[in-house]
C-alpha cells in the first residue's frame, strides 16, 4: 500500500473518531494534515487557497486583495474532512448568541479561522497591503457601524464567549451583547496579521501549513514557562502584535472606510466619530496594553454565591499573593483553568466564601485569570478587600520566584491595564499580603522581589 494512502487512512481514523464535531485548533490541524497527505505536491499557499475554495469562502473584499479562486486547486480529501473544514472556516453569529467558525487553542484563546487564514494568504501572496483590511480593518469597521445603529443591543467590538466543554469544545456561546467584531474574530485577525507578516518576509513559505500552525499553536511550555519559549507562538501574540502593527495606519484605514459611508444623518455621523475614537482607544487598551485575561466563563467558574459588593474605583492599593496551594506553577491553560476551579471550590466549600477570593490570578502560561475581577470586592487581604485588588501567582514562592514573564505580566502589563482602565489609582501603593496580616504570603523569595517593584511601599496605613 502506498505510504501516502496509509498515512491518510491512519489520519482519517483518528480524525473521524475524535474531531468531526470538536472545535479545537489541534483538530483543525489534524484535518489539514490529512489533506496534505493526499496532496503532497502542493505548497502552503496552494493548500490555504484550496481550503478557502473548499469552504466556498469568497467575497468582493477578498477578491480585491487576493484575486478570485479560479486558479485554486480542488483539494483531494475525504468528504468528512471537507465538511469539517467548511464548518470551522465559515464564520457566523446566530440570534441565540452561538458563534461558529471558532476554535479553542492550547493557550486558552478562541480563534476565528477565517481572518487568520486570510491574513496568512495575504502574506503568502506578498499582498501586504491586504493584511490590515483582511485581518482586522473590515471587521472593526462593520462592528463600529453596526453599533452606531444598535447601541442598546450590541457592543462596539470584542464580545467574548465560552465553550460547552474545555476538554471537548463543540459549541461556543457569546457571554455578553453581540458585536460584529467578536473577541474570536479579533484574535483570529491578530494571528493572521502576525503570520502573514512573518511569511511575507521569511522562508516559512517552504513549510507545510500544518507545520506552521503546529509551531504557532501547539507549543507546550515546560517548567520555565514562556521565558525560554520560541518567539512565534500564540502565547506571545500580544508581544508580537505590538512589534508589528502600526496603530496609526490601522485607525486611518478605519476612519477612511467609515467616512465614505452614505445614508448617515448628522447625528449618526457625529456618533460614529465618537464610536471610532472611543472604540479604537479601547481596542488598543484591550489587545495591546492589557495582558490576555481569561474570563470567568472561559475557565469554567461556578456562580458567585449571593450578591457581590462593588468596589469604589479607582482603588488605591494592590496586594501581591502566592497561592501556596496549588504549590506548582501551571504552564498550560488546561492546568491553570483546573487550578482556578480547584481554588474556587476550596474558597467556597471549605472557607465558606462567596467566591474565589482573589481579584486576578497569574499563571505561568502567559494568561491572567479573572477572579472577582475589576468591580467586585474580593476576599484576599483582611481589612483591605474594599480598598484594593489582590493578585495572586499560582505556586509556592517561599524559596523560588515566579517565572520572569509572569512577574512582568503583573508588574508592567496588569498595572498599566488597571491604571489606564480606571480601576487602579495612578498613584497606587503596592504591598505584599504579609504586610496586612500575619502570614508568610507571598513567600520569602517573592516578597524580597516585589520590594524592588515600582510603587512598593514599606508602610501600610
CB 443 within 8 A of CB 397: yes
φ/ψ of 393, rounded to 5, equals: -105, 130
pLDDT at 133: 94
Q: Could you give the angle at which helices 183-200 and 113-124 cross, rounded to 10 degrees?
A: 20
Residue stretches of the chain with pLDDT short of 50? 1, 3, 5, 7-9, 11-19
pLDDT at 2: 52
C-alpha cell belonging to residue 23 = 472545535
pLDDT at 13: 46
pLDDT at 421: 96
Distance between the two ends of the chain, CA-based, in angstroms? 77
pLDDT at 20: 55
pLDDT at 30: 95
- Cα gap 121→134, rounded to integer Å: 10
C-alpha cell belonging to residue 267 = 447625528
**For the chain, what is the total number of helices (H) and then of strands (E)?**
18, 12
Cβ neighbours of residue 411 under 8 Å, at least 6 residues apart?
453, 454
Domains of the chain: 2-289 (no CATH), 315-451 (3.40.80.10)
pLDDT at 201: 82
pLDDT at 12: 46
pTM flag (> 0.85): yes
- Cα gap 320→317, rounded to integer Å: 10
pLDDT at 112: 98
φ/ψ of 309, rounded to 5, equals: -95, 155
Beta strand 172-174 with 161-163: parallel, antiparallel or unpaired?
Answer: antiparallel
φ/ψ of 204, rounded to 5, equals: -65, -20
- Cα gap 215→217, rounded to integer Å: 6
Amino acid at each position: 500500500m502506498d505510504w501516502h494512502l496509509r498515512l491518510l487512512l491512519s489520519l482519517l481514523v483518528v480524525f473521524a473518531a475524535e474531531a468531526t464535531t470538536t472545535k479545537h485548533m489541534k483538530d483543525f490541524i489534524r484535518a489539514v494534515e490529512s489533506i496534505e497527505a493526499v496532496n503532497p505536491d502542493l505548497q502552503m499557499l496552494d493548500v490555504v487557497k484550496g481550503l478557502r475554495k473548499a469552504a466556498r469562502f469568497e467575497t468582493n473584499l477578498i477578491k480585491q486583495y487576493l484575486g478570485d479562486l479560479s486558479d485554486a486547486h480542488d483539494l483531494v480529501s475525504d468528504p468528512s474532512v471537507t465538511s469539517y473544514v467548511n464548518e470551522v472556516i465559515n464564520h457566523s453569529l446566530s440570534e441565540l448568541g452561538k458563534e461558529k467558525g471558532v476554535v479553542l487553542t492550547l493557550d486558552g484563546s478562541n480563534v476565528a479561522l477565517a481572518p487568520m487564514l486570510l491574513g496568512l494568504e495575504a502574506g503568502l501572496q506578498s499582498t501586504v497591503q491586504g493584511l490590515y483590511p483582511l485581518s482586522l480593518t473590515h471587521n472593526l469597521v462593520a462592528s463600529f457601524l453596526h453599533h452606531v445603529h444598535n447601541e442598546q443591543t450590541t457592543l462596539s467590538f470584542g464580545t467574548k464567549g465560552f465553550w460547552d466543554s474545555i476538554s471537548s469544545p463543540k459549541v461556543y456561546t457569546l457571554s455578553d451583547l453581540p458585536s460584529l467584531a467578536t473577541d474570536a474574530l479579533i484574535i483570529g485577525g491578530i494571528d493572521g496579521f502576525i503570520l502573514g507578516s512573518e511569511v511575507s518576509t521569511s522562508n516559512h513559505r517552504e513549510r507545510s501549513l500544518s507545520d506552521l500552525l503546529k509551531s504557532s499553536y501547539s507549543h507546550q511550555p515546560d517548567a520555565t514557562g514562556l521565558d525560554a519559549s520560541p518567539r512565534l507562538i500564540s502565547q506571545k501574540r500580544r508581544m508580537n502584535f505590538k512589534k508589528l502593527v502600526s496603530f496609526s495606519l490601522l485607525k486611518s484605514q478605519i476612519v477612511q472606510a467609515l467616512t465614505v459611508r452614505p445614508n448617515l444623518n448628522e447625528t449618526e455621523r457625529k456618533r460614529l466619530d465618537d464610536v471610532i475614537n472611543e472604540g479604537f482607544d479601547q481596542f488598543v487598551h484591550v489587545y495591546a496594553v492589557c495582558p490576555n485575561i481569561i474570563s470567568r466563563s472561559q475557565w469554567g467558574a461556578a456562580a458567585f454565591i449571593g450578591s457581590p459588593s462593588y468596589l469604589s474605583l479607582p482603588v488605591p492599593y494592590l496586594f501581591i499573593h502566592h497561592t501556596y496551594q496549588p504549590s506548582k506553577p501551571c504552564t498550560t491553560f488546561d492546568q491553570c483553568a483546573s487550578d482556578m476551579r480547584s481554588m474556587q471550590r476550596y474558597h467556597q466549600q471549605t472557607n465558606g466564601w462567596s467566591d474565589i477570593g482573589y481579584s486576578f490570578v497569574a499563571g505561568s502560561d502567559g494568561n491572567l485569570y479573572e477572579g472577582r475581577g475589576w468591580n467586585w470586592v474580593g476576599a484576599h487581604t483582611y481589612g483591605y478587600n474594599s480598598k484594593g485588588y489582590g493578585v495572586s501567582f499560582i505556586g509556592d514562592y517561599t524559596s523560588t520566584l515566579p517565572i520572569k514573564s509572569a512577574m512582568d505580566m503583573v508588574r508592567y502589563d496588569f498595572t498599566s491595564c488597571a491604571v489606564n482602565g480606571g480601576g487602579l489609582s495612578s498613584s497606587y501603593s503596592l504591598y505584599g499580603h504579609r504586610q496586612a496580616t500575619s502570614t508568610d504570603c507571598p513567600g520569602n523569595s517573592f516578597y524580597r522581589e516585589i520590594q524592588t517593584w515600582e510603587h512598593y511601599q514599606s508602610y501600610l496605613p
